[in-house]
Amino acid sequence: MELQDEISQHFRYFRDDRKEQRKFEQSLAGLTPDQENFRPSPDRWTIAENAEHVTIVNGGSSG
């Protein structure tokens, strides 16, 4: 693979990742605090905990 093609491919991956991150953030934007903090059972994470986990794993910062 040519260097320029490789750079272009990495840029597309980055752009697609940013697009998915924005979609993820938008999907959470309308939640109420009760929805964010609802725990379906004691051994399950809340939506807020899941969102924080996804953000950290994907290299972002929470909050």
Higher pLDDT, 14 or 36: 36
pLDDT of residue 21: 84
pLDDT of residue 60: 66
Tally of CA atoms within 13 A in the half-sphere of 38 that contains its CB: 6
Whole-number average pLDDT of the chain: 87
- Given a cut of 60, whether residue 18 has pLDDT beyond it is yes
Identify whether the C-beta of residue 8 lies closer than 8 Å to the C-beta of residue 47.
no
CA dist., res. 4 & res. 10, Å (int): 10
Confidence (pTM): 0.66
Query: Per the structure block, which two tokens stand in for 21?
Result: 């991150």
